[in-house]
Structure 1
Amino acid sequence: MTSTEPTTAPAQGAAPVAGEDSIVRKLSTLDRYLAVWILIAMGVGIGLGRAIPGLNSALAKVEIGGVSLPIAVGLLIMMYPVLAKVRYDRLDRVTGDKKLMVSSLVINWIVGPAVMFALAWIFLSDLPAYRTGLIIVGLARCIAMVIIWNDLACGDREAAAVLVALNSVFQVLAFSLLGWLYLDGLPRWLGLGDGQGLNVPVWKIAVNVVVFLGVPLLTGFLTRRIGEQKMGRENYEAKFLPKIGPWALYGLLFTIVILFALQGKTITHQPGDVARIALPLLVYFAIMFFGTFLLGKGLGLTYDRTATLAFTAAGNNFELAIAVAIATFGVTSGQALSGVVGPLIEVPVLIGLVYVALAWRKKFAPDAVTTAP
Structure 2
Amino acid sequence: MSQRELTFAQAINEAFVEAMTQDENVYVIGEGVPDPKGIFGTTLGLREKFGSKRVLDMPVAENGMTGVAIGSALMGMRPVLTHQRVDFALLAMDQMVNQAAKWHYMFGGQLAVPLVIRLIIGRGWGQGPQHSQSLQSWFAHVPGLKVVMPTTPHDAKGLLLSSIRDNNPVIFLEHRWLHNVTGSVPIENYSVPLGRARVAREGKDLTIVSTSYMTLEALRTAQWLELQGIETEVIDLRSLRPLDTETILNSVKKTGRLLVTDTSWQAYGASAEILAVATEQAFSHLKCAPCRVALPDAPTPTSHAVAQYYYPRAVDLYRKACEMLTLPFENPEEPLSSTQLDVPDKSFTGPF
Larger proportion of strand:
2
TM-score normalised by L of structure 1: 0.25
Q: Which has the higher contact order (CA 8 A, sep 6+)?
A: 1
Larger proportion of helix:
1
